[in-house]
Chain A
């Protein structure tokens, strides 16, 4: 990836964080931390790799994306709005009664969402099913999935891991948003998710581990993952929960937290600083 390709992605990550903070702070509370940690992975997918057409979400040959950590919906909604799946004003309806943007992703409510998720551990199984379906129907579209640390606590994720490998799903590429935090505290203290590279490798996946906020590293890993045609690929993205939110970044209490107008203003000021460096 050259500098001209990198710059717009970096700018887009800032735009998406700004939009997500605006979206969540409008309501005043939300899943802030996990939405911030996934931004670079989502931007890389939705602005560079994912084959999709916002004007035609039903296009059968497109790639699919399963957000297994469904609580990071707000970041994905910001991207879908920015890509034109729905008007940006809709972001202000997040979690309000009757909204089409619920806390956790809902394929029947939100244009552009490919699978209903939110109960951790279930997303990767669904992604395996979609990948099997694409293979059976000889569809060219790949299936991308994003799981969180919490997903790896759930046994079902490892059932899905076994089956993806058994079925040789070369059309499945997953990311782990490895922010090492969970609701009750650091994963190191609550439930260790260490040696993830070894764990996924031992389950038969083509596994890489990179800085999840570094577009060049993520892009290199994604290109290698996509090149695998006979087995599923896992990219463990080392991330920081609440990334780029001053006073919030890295605090495990940021899983679901109030976000005031003052918090938002502080974030916008920091985003301005980041923007000056792009």
Chain B
């Protein structure tokens, strides 16, 4: 397939993902009166004000009380509605984990929790607001769906599928401007990784707006040096597309994972679990090492924690050496 990232300029920036999130929910809500939106005093940040202006009676702002937001969502679900509560990832995962675990998931409710500003995207909000562990926490919840779309096109395609699937889910949303990756015509299926480009020497498995874009740039750099690199956008982290992973493990014999999350518990771990049990090949993980977050621009933090195409290329070289050894 062709992807747009390489030629994205600031003018070509896609709409903000938070705007796409709200627009998509509005169009879903126009078709389905069960859809409601909740927020915890971050409606402007999450873009959900656009939903409120279209459906004020179906929008509930609970104030700075995330645990209650998730509990109220579980009750709305028990009354037959489809609630989409949203807050920053740090609060969605750390603050409401127990409520989301018990009242939403254990109770088999249909709560579509969204966490925005994942990982280093929290930027100037700094370490207190920086979640490197949310996917790790969420992955331990039985039967949950975890999705991290990489651009507005994939978000627009995947969100209706999340709404249609009965069961609680966690959407990791990069809310701010980001380069387009996909053409509007591209299609996506929950639970199926998207092969962005094919390759035979190495596969980069990435998730999210920052690392999928970096992975594509890394693949281009590697190609110039004659390394044939496949890139997979693993937008659905649970359940993960094990068949695709195994087929690319067989095909390329080396897997590099890339995530805006710590390497323990997130995408890298999920991939390692599949490979170890089904088709062990060499793997390296790019993500945050054993560290807390800190303040800075997103670009600074990407450099600081190695979430860059350059670091992916460096790790790829180590991986290829080990593969050949």
Contacts and interface: CB of A to CB of B under 8 A. Distances in A.
B121 interface: no
Contacts of A139: 79
B311 interface: no
A133 B78 contact: yes
The size bracket of the interface on A is 20 to 34
A64 B74 CA distance: 14
A162 B72 contact: no
Contacts of A116: 102-103, 106-108
Interface stretch (A38-46, A76-84, A123-131, A248-256): A123-131
A162 B63 contact: yes
B116 interface: no
Interface string B54-68: 000110101101011
The prevalent SS among residues of B at the interface is helix
A122 interface: yes
A153 interface: no
A56 interface: no
Contacts of B63: 162-163, 166
A53 interface: no
A130 B107 CA distance: 14
The prevalent SS among residues of A at the interface is helix
Interface in B255-308: none
B75 interface: yes
Interface residues of B, number: 29
B36 interface: yes
B76 interface: yes
B107 A115 contact: yes
Interface in A125-180: 125-134, 136-137, 139, 155-156, 159-160, 162-163, 166-167
Contacts of B77: 129
A155 B66 CA distance: 12
Nearest to B75: A129
Contact of B75 (A60, A126, A156, A159): A126
The 3 closest A-B pairs by CB, nearest first: A129-B75, A125-B71, A133-B79
13 contacts: A107-B108, A115-B75, A115-B78, A122-B74, A125-B68, A128-B68, A129-B71, A131-B75, A134-B79, A136-B81, A156-B99, A159-B65, A166-B63
Interface of B: 36, 57-58, 60, 62-63, 65, 67-68, 70-81, 83, 98-99, 102-103, 106-108
